[in-house]
Amino acid sequence: MASSLKGIKVIELAGLAPGPFAGLLLADYGASVLRIDRPGSVNADQLTRNKTSITLDLRDENSRSVLIRLLTAADVLIDPFRPGVLERLGLSPTEVLLKHNPRLIVARMTGFRRDGKYKDMAGHDINYIAVSGVLSMLGRAGEKPYAPGNILGDFAGGGAICFQGVLLALISRSHTGRGQVVEANMVDGSAYLATFPRLARQTPAWGEPRGQNLLDSGCPYYDTYETKDAGKYFAVGALEPQFYAALLRGLNLDPKKTPKREDRANWPALRDIFTRRFKDKTRAEWEDIFDGTDACATPVLEQDELEASGYEQRPIVHLASTPAAPIQADQGGWSGGVLVPGDGGAETLRVWMGWEQDKDFTPSKKVISPLSVPVRASLHQLYALLGPPEWQEITKTLTLISPGISDASSRSRGAPITGTANYLAANPATWEKTWALWTGIVANVPGCTGVTGGWMVEPVDGYSPCFVTVLTQPQCGFAEYSTRQTGLEGTLSVVFRIDQSFCPTKERPVKVLFSPRPNSPPLKVQLPIL
């Protein structure tokens, strides 16, 4: 059974979250998505399901020529760059690309409006929802606005809206035979998502300041409550009278003795009653009470719980006749693999264009990672040897360090060392296995003689006199590798992050320390190619 977008060819210029998410949605529904990476880049993007990659340096005329040739056969180009970048590269959608292929759909994804006040400024999700007016709606009364991760701007108002625009352009092309430029930006996207609360400001439902309305945590029967087991919560959304009555029954509250909810002056008292009552039982006990009822009361489940329970991640919509690719084929939707620049692209071009690499096209030269095939094999071997439960325990809670680290070093690193020492004392066989494997891995890294630190799991505070940790920014998907001179002369440390597919918890990316030979040049280590 063919997927809806089977046969659609998409070229995705590598970028941060929104563009890759639009490409992921297209790939999930059957499109063939080819990502264009810069040569020598280390792309930490995990939104790579069913995609392939080639490397092209678009600053180079030959690479641009290859891209234009590809675009003559493509259906969609995803442009994630800031305004003016394609134009400066000589790849203007209207002046160049659509003239080569009038059927092409150029999906341009920016943060701010391309023609707006902030068009020349850098920004992130929080900035886009800030100037859209959405951020001002989020937060509790008397507190500052809060940003709900980067879900609203980057993904809901960005990548998903861009995906929508591509689908609309494909429908239009089926009637007109012509492609077009699709402009999407996260300011307009998130503002559009907030249409209901924006209009509701003219009604009693949302006419009060932030955090004092029916649906923004102002209302006590539309809020979350901590249960007896600290850190666990229940969500309540009992808006309609019949659902509210079911909520009171579940909480064992007498409606006649409970303050009337219709009077907003009673809301603080109601909130206090609900807060104290939910504290009487654990979340599991409340689940037993409310499951199967119409009280609109449900547990606040965490990602780890869902993963452990085998919860099935599914595509955003089910199409009976033209289904999407099953997400569960990708480790249940819980583990996104990193697509190495250049991986799989040659086969895609053979299928799309009939091209043969180095005959019909030549990828831009890549920087070869010093991590050789034996290193990759060792990483897989290590994971297989420990097994998922043991690996997860280590990566989630411990900082593993080399044997023989000094007392002074231990003091400088503080509490994490104590926890590690206790674990290693209780699990000597694990340490022997892991240490032997890591020393074997290091032997395959040019310029390295040993490991000064084993795994280092974020967050890491402080540093020892033996080595320095240079933190990256995993929350932004970056993988920045750098060296720093420590207090001991001749000691250089290099930090790099293991591919996150080896950290099943996905909570804390793993980092490893290597020490080059004394007086050797700084060692540049790339993300392992796994």
Residues labelled as active-site residues: 154
Q: How far apart are CA 303 and CA 507, in angstroms?
A: 10
CA geometry: angle 251, 256, 257, nearest 5 deg: 70
Q: Do residues 143 and 211 lie in contact, with contact meaning Cβ atoms separated by under 8 Å? A: yes
* Residues across the chain: 530
Q: How far apart are CA 451 and CA 470, in angstroms?
A: 16
Measuring CA to CA, which residue among 509, 510, 505 is closest to residue 389? 505
Question: Which SS3 state, helix, strand or coil, does residue 53 take?
Answer: strand
Q: Do residues 101 and 71 lie in contact, with contact meaning Cβ atoms separated by under 8 Å? A: yes
Cα 409 to chain center, whole Å? 34
Q: Do residues 345 and 32 lie in contact, with contact meaning Cβ atoms separated by under 8 Å? A: no
Residue 107, both tokens: 């999906």
- DSSP assignment of 170-238: HHHHHHHS--EEEEEEHHHHHHHHTHHHHHHTTSTTS-SSTTSSTTTT-STTEEEEE-SSTT-EEEEE-
Phi then psi for residue 516, to 5 deg, are -70, 170
Q: How far apart are CA 471 and CA 44, in angstroms?
A: 15
HSE-up of residue 247 (Cα within 13 Å, Cβ side): 26
* 525 CB neighbour count, 10 Å cutoff: 23
* 438 CB neighbour count, 10 Å cutoff: 22
HSE-up of residue 379 (Cα within 13 Å, Cβ side): 20
Q: How far apart are CA 302 and CA 161, in angstroms?
A: 26
Measuring CA to CA, which residue among 391, 411, 375 is closest to residue 514? 375
